[in-house]
Amino acid sequence: MVKKGKLSSGKTRKKIIVGNWKMYITDKRQAKEIFGKIKRKMLKVEMVKTVICPPVSFLGSLSLAAKGNLFLGSQDVFFENQGSFVGENGPEMVKSAGASFVIIGHSERRARGDSDEVVSRKIAVALSFDLTPVICVGEKERDDAGKYLSFLETQIRESLSKVSGRFLGKLIIAYEPVWTIGRPFKDAMKPAEFEETALFIRKILSDLYKNEDVLSVPVLYGGSVSSINAGELLKEGKADGFLVGRESVSPTHFGEIVEIVEKS
């Protein structure tokens, strides 16, 4: 496994929390109410950037409220910008609806057919429209022989195959081991496991780009994040932030996570 030291990010910068609302909220009024509460919380927050990713159909009605350290993101984007693609949302569409970030390669989309090739095209198109991609990677399971490491390496190399080094400053990696998503909060990844894997991810980036800028790519943790585990994942695991699912639609619980990160 990779040695600590050179490859740790080490720099002080704002942490990032991405809230992935999935399809939990189906009513616009409720979406506005939750977003309003999160916004009030964010007014007092200085050291955390929060990106809320609602269902794409609600982006427009929340966009005016996204200010300061509160941003909007899309949960996905199509890899073409325009044309006869029924039901898709291209980069210009999500951007003009208010998104400045986009989650790409979430395991729930990969499970429904997004291959590494598709993910790489989505990342490339997002970058070309100046959207910040939050690139999800993560193994489905762990094995003692360490096969998950080569799985992860292939996933990262192929997902980033169309990204040139000049975009490194725009990338966010969300490491979400699939086996920790949607679990009881006590089953989130252990901080030491996260730290070790984040170093492995940085090592892959460093081999790929041979560029010091890889140190500034935030590596977030995702998978059953809550106020119960956020503190230790930041402190001991040295996470650069989180991708939060279920807890992001509870303004109170999400606010607690934001507070923990703000104070870290």
The set of catalytic residues is 106, 176
Binding mask 18-47 for ligand PGA (x = CB under 6 A): --x---------------------------
Residue 148 CA to residue 143 CA, distance in Å, equals 7
Rg (CA), the chain: 17
Residue from the set 15, 246, 249, 251 that interacts with ligand PGA by CB under 6 A: 246
Tokens, residue 45: 């927050």
Can you tell me which residue has the tokens 């699912």?
245
For residues 73 and 206, which CB has a smaller minimum distance to ligand PGA in the complex?
73
> Interface with ligand PGA includes 155 (CB under 6 A)?
no
Residue 100 CA to residue 45 CA, distance in Å, equals 19
Contact 87, 54 (CB under 8 A): no
Query: Residue 192: which of 151, 233, 138 has the closest Cα?
Result: 233
For ligand PGA, which stretch binds (CB under 6 A), given 30-38, 119-127, 198-206, 239-247?
239-247
Can you tell me which residue has the tokens 């390496």?
153
173-192: contacts with ligand PGA (CB under 6 A):
176, 181-182
For residues 80 and 108, which CB has a smaller minimum distance to ligand PGA in the complex?
108
For residues 125 and 244, which CB has a smaller minimum distance to ligand PGA in the complex?
244
Binding footprint of ligand PGA on the chain (CB under 6 A): 20, 176, 181-182, 222-225, 243-246
